[in-house]
Amino acid sequence: MAVRSTIKINKSKIKELSLGAITALEKTAEALHTEVVQAQVVPRKDGHLQNEKFFVDNSQSKSGKVTLCFEGPYARRLYYHPEYNFKKTENPRAKGKWLEDWMKGGSKQDFCNKAFEMFYKMEGGL
């Protein structure tokens, strides 16, 4: 008994899925950026760290990498020193290590996975 099969590769669908993954990754990073700002966890004095100095770098998204960036000489110092007495006038939940809630073991660790899944379904035509 002989069995034959034919495989046809749908290159246009593969391209659509690949481009959808890149777009979904970029949208996921932007969603995380928005989520962090709305959570009001970034220490805020004049708004520079949370606004102008906090951005998403999509320059390597085609390689599967996006970066959430905090720029400025004080960003690292504030992030790694949760013992500071942060003013809570502007952001009532301001703290050091403000991204930990979205990292593995944090209360919102599934945020990025769920966001990516939702965006990928939309962008990939699934």
pLDDT tens-digit profile of 33-44?
999 999 999 988
* Alpha-carbon span 71 to 76, nearest angstrom: 8
The domain ranges of the chain are 16-123
Residue count (the chain): 126
**DSSP H or E stretch at residue 74:** helix 73-79
Helices and strands, counts by H and E, the chain: 3, 2
**DSSP H or E stretch at residue 56:** strand 54-57
As a whole number, mean pLDDT of residues 103-123 equals 96
pLDDT tens-digit profile of 84-111?
888 888 899 999 999 999 999 999 999 9
pLDDT tens-digit profile of 6-51?
999 999 899 999 999 999 999 999 999 999 999 999 988 777 788 8
